[in-house]
């Protein structure tokens, strides 16, 4: 039970931020904007859950353990066949596919491949740099595979762009 309360606090803060900061702003921009931004927010909350949580209750203890630097040898687990490397690589690619798809939708006509990949890189780099503070491992392979997932997600965005924009226009007209 105590373990679940740690996560509950983080999710309560995320819900509070959504309800009292972001929801009002996005709602005023229209239904389509509210939907896309809410999906991106929910996605980023799940990424936070799987990569860093619990955050808030961990903050007082972030310096109570040695900082393990990022492993800077790309794909070392693959080459040494350590652990479940294939699963980790695939999951890291899959984890950022939604970012590559949803982020350009929030940008509208200004959605560019380079901008999307750059922001995916920044998100992944931020996670990888912060994870050791929360007693989690950090790896350059994760950064590479996350950015690859974001690029593939952008490819899906391009492929499904006509359908997606048709759905969003249909939502606007309702």
User: For the residues of 80-130, what is the DSSP string, one character each?
Assistant: TT-SSHHHHHHHHHHHHHHHHHHHHHHHGGG--HHHHHHHHHHHHHHHHHH
Segments of the chain with pLDDT less than 50: none
- pLDDT computed for residue 78 by the predictor: 79
What are the residues whose beta carbons fall under 8 Å from the beta carbon of 42, sequence distance 6 or more?
none
- pLDDT computed for residue 125 by the predictor: 97
**CA of 42: how far to CAs of 37, 64, 98, 100, in Å?**
9, 31, 11, 15
Q: How many other C-beta atoms are found inside a 10 Å radius of the C-beta of residue 47?
A: 19
- pLDDT computed for residue 162 by the predictor: 87
């Amino acid at each position: 039970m105590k373990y679940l309360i740690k996560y509950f606090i983080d999710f309560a803060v995320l819900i509070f931020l959504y309800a009292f900061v972001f929801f009002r702003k996005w709602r005023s921009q229209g239904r389509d904007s509210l939907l896309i931004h809410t999906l991106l927010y929910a996605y980023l909350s799940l990424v936070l859950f799987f990569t860093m949580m619990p955050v808030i209750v961990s903050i007082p203890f972030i310096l109570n353990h040695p900082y393990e630097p990022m492993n800077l040898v790309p794909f070392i687990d693959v080459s040494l066949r350590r652990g479940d490397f294939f699963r980790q690589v695939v999951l890291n690619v899959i984890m950022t596919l939604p970012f590559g798809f949803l982020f350009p939708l929030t940008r509208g006509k200004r959605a560019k491949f380079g901008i999307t990949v750059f922001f995916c890189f920044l998100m992944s780099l931020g996670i990888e740099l912060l994870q050791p503070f929360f007693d989690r491992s950090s790896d350059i392979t994760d950064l590479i595979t996350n950015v690859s997932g974001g690029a593939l997600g952008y490819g899906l965005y391009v492929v499904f762009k006509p359908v997606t924009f048709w759905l969003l226009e249909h939502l606007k007209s309702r």
